[in-house]
């Protein structure tokens, strides 16, 4: 069904807080509602979700067209059946969250992975259109259509948008990069080195102190910057190892998916600490069997938070090809992409992604 100017209720469901928004025309139209996450039982979790959405409804006092939100997996997002969630111990599989909410609110409900909705929001109304506008303003014909969204927090999440379409996958597992290989330990998945617990573990081991799960990455970030605490070297090392593992995975992704990479999530605020190691891992050489070096990626990868690299990225390498005496074709001869932080922030992009995903489904 086609809906004109629908109001969509959205939720970013994290392990600490549930953040609710009401959106119309791609904009938040009322105060957001933030509730502590209820993760100890299916009943308490559902009650919190219903409370948040009911509060939004009472604030806007207008009919809603749909509910659309991010929720952790594993899950069959099409049916809205939630599986066993390691960070939500009260949900133990085969929980019909979508049908329960649709029955309560009497409207369509859409649930997706947070990485998916982050990527979709960045592709529709975030980094992708911003980069293309900057290229056009610079007089360059280059235009990006694909986006890889990566979230860094409790774990690592990812979403893929190909030519404007969110890749959900045949099994609702479109971009489960947390199970990719780990640079530091071949027996681990990569999330063991790209996560909150990874930074905590590496810091404690390097500092030769007891692991403290209350010491979060933001605190270790402050130690690394010399603002508080001791063991600055250990703090810097923990983010360096984090960046190496992240760059190793991103290079593999870029060899499969040709697009922009946008990074969001709480740990992205430590960009200056992990980005140098990340780009170093992306740009390091492979070695052929004959000993000759070869580039890790087939396209050049830019850090466009560096102004000099940004200008080179926007300028590209324009060239003209003569077709006939009366016709030439101008094109950019530099195959390239960029890794950049989200300017919207993960929570806002997730809300935007949830909104536009609901719109796409309502108008289908």
Q: In the predicted model, what is the mean pLDDT of residues 111-137?
A: 95
Work out the mean pLDDT of the chain and round it to a whole number: 92
- Say whether pLDDT at 197 is over 80: yes
pLDDT in tens, 51-74: 999 999 999 988 999 999 998 888
- Say whether pLDDT at 1 is over 70: no
**Cα–Cα dist 359/274, whole Å:** 36
Confidence of residue 84 (pLDDT cuts 50, 70, 90): confident
Q: Which tokens is 292 given? A: 């000759």
Confidence of residue 363 (pLDDT cuts 50, 70, 90): confident
Q: Which tokens is 114 given? A: 């947070």
**Cα–Cα dist 274/35, whole Å:** 31
Domains of the chain, first to last? 8-117 (3.30.420.40), 127-343 (3.30.420.40)
The backbone torsions φ and ψ at residue 302, rounded to the nearest 5 degrees and listed phi first, read -105, 145
**Cα–Cα dist 350/355, whole Å:** 9
- Say whether pLDDT at 3 is over 70: no
**Cα–Cα dist 228/210, whole Å:** 18
Going by C-alpha positions, the residue among 153, 145, 152, 154 that lies closest to residue 127 is 145
Contact (CB, 8 A) for 159 and 121:
no
Chain centre to alpha carbon of residue 123: 11
Going by C-alpha positions, the residue among 220, 213, 218 that lies closest to residue 234 is 220
Confidence of residue 171 (pLDDT cuts 50, 70, 90): confident
- Say whether pLDDT at 203 is over 80: yes
Confidence of residue 13 (pLDDT cuts 50, 70, 90): confident
- Say whether pLDDT at 14 is over 80: no
- Say whether pLDDT at 112 is over 80: yes
| Residues β-bridged to residue 131 | none
DSSP E strands, the chain = 8-13, 17-24, 27-28, 33-36, 66-70, 75-76, 81-84, 92-96, 109-112, 146-152, 156-162, 165-166, 260-264, 285-287, 293-295, 300-303, 318-324, 327-332, 336-341
Looking at residue 2, its pLDDT comes to: 54
């Amino acid at each position: 069904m086609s809906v004109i100017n629908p109001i969509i209720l959205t939720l970013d469901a994290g392990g600490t807080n549930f953040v609710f928004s009401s959106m119309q025309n791609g904009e938040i139209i009322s105060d957001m509602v933030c509730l502590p996450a209820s993760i100890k039982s299916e009943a308490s979790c559902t009650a919190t979700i219903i409370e948040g959405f009911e509060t939004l409804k009472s604030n806007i006092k207008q009919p809603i067209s749909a509910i659309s939100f991010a929720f952790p997996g594993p899950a069959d997002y099409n049916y809205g059946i939630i599986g066993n969630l390691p960070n939500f111990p009260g949900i133990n599989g085969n929980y019909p969250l979508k049908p329960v909410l649709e029955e309560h609110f009497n409207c369509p409900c859409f649930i997706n992975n947070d990485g998916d909705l982050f990527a979709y929001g960045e592709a529709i109304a975030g980094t992708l259109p911003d980069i293309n506008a900057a290229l056009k303003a610079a007089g360059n014909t280059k235009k990006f259509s694909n986006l890889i969204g990566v979230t860094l927090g409790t774990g690592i999440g990812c979403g893929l948008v190909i030519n404007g379409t969110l890749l959900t996958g045949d099994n609702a597992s479109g971009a489960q990069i947390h199970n990719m290989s780990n640079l530091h330990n071949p027996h681990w998945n990569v999330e063991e080195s790209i996560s909150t617990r990874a930074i905590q573990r590496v810091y404690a081991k390097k500092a030769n102190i007891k692991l403290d799960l209350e010491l979060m990455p933001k605190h270790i970030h402050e130690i690394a910057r010399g603002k508080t605490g001791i063991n600055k070297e250990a703090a810097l090392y923990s983010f360096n190892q984090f960046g190496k593992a992240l760059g190793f995975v991103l290079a593999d992704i870029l060899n499969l998916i040709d697009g922009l990479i946008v990074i969001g999530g709480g740990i992205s605020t430590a960009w200056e600490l992990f980005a140098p190691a990340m780009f170093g891992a992306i740009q390091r050489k492979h070695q052929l069997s004959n000993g000759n070096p070869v580039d890790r990626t087939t396209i050049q990868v830019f850090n466009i938070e560096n102004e000099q690299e940004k200008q080179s990225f926007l300028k590209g390498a324009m060239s003209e090809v003569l077709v006939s005496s009366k016709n030439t074709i101008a094109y950019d001869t530099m195959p390239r992409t960029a890794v950049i932080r989200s300017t919207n922030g993960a929570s806002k992009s997730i809300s935007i992604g949830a909104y536009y995903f609901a719109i796409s489904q309502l108008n289908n």
